[in-house]
Amino acid sequence: MANVPSLVVDDTSPIIQYFPFSDTLGPPDFTAGWNPLFNQTSLGGAPLQVENSTSVHVTSLNNASFSLQWQGTGIQLVGSVTDASYSILVDGTLRDANATPTLLASIQNLDDASHVISLTTIISNTTSNQTESFVVFDQAIISAPPVSANSTDRSVQICLF
């Protein structure tokens, strides 16, 4: 089977919806929601355990979430967790994340159609967890097969909603 082409969507893309999105004008407040960080090293106590990162979104807020709608057959969410967990929904259905230390989720073998993935954090509300527990999101990698050679549609389209 041929490799399926992929498309990288950075965490700063406007097609990713963060809830709640924290105030970005002041110092990072990870307990208030998703904070964008632009650094390759730890900032404000949040470990950035992702390779070659130039930006990430970080939160230590319980029940914070983000979602992304895309067209394709699979998606990987690159990032990490420290003393936290999360749930993954794909098209409204709870899914096994198939996570690794640098991969929050890997969902493959979907129909080539429009999909929505959502990640929701699960972090204890204790004071120590709010300063020591983090979910870090770096990028999404979308698997989008090319149009079939037998197709009469010769247009090329990448759909990111």
- Taking residues 19-29, report their average pLDDT: 80
> Which of the four pLDDT bands, split at 50, 70 and 90, describes residue 156?
very low
Does residue 154 fall inside a structural domain? no
Phi, psi dihedrals of residue 16, rounded to the nearest 5°: -95, 125
pLDDT at 150: 59
Does residue 152 fall inside a structural domain? no
Grouping H, G, I as helix, E, B as strand and the rest as coil, residue 142 is strand
Whole-model pTM above 0.85? no
Does residue 91 fall inside a structural domain? yes
pLDDT at 108: 95
- Taking residues 33-62, report their average pLDDT: 71
> Domain range spanning residue 21?
6-143
Q: What is the pLDDT of residues 80-132, one digit of tens each?
A: 999 999 999 999 999 999 999 999 999 999 999 999 999 999 998 665 556 68
Does residue 128 fall inside a structural domain? yes
Domain count, the chain: 1
pLDDT at 124: 81
Grouping H, G, I as helix, E, B as strand and the rest as coil, residue 113 is strand
46 has a pLDDT exceeding 80: no
- Cα–Cα distances (Å) from 158 to 19, 81, 155, in that order, read 25, 30, 10
21 has a pLDDT exceeding 70: yes
Does residue 148 fall inside a structural domain? no
- Cα–Cα distances (Å) from 117 to 14, 75, 107, 114, in that order, read 15, 9, 9, 10
Give the CATH number of the domain where residue 106 resides. 2.60.120.260
Between 43 and 102, name the one with better pLDDT.
Answer: 102
Task: For residue 131, give the H/E element and its range.
Answer: helix 127-132
Does residue 153 fall inside a structural domain? no
- Can you tell me the distance from the alpha carbon of 157 to that of 155, in angstroms, rounded to the nearest whole number? 6
Residues of the chain with pLDDT > 70: what percent? 75
149 has a pLDDT exceeding 80: no
Does residue 87 fall inside a structural domain? yes
Query: What contacts 106, CB < 8 A, 6 or more positions away?
Result: 74, 75, 76, 77, 97, 98, 99, 100
Does residue 66 fall inside a structural domain? yes
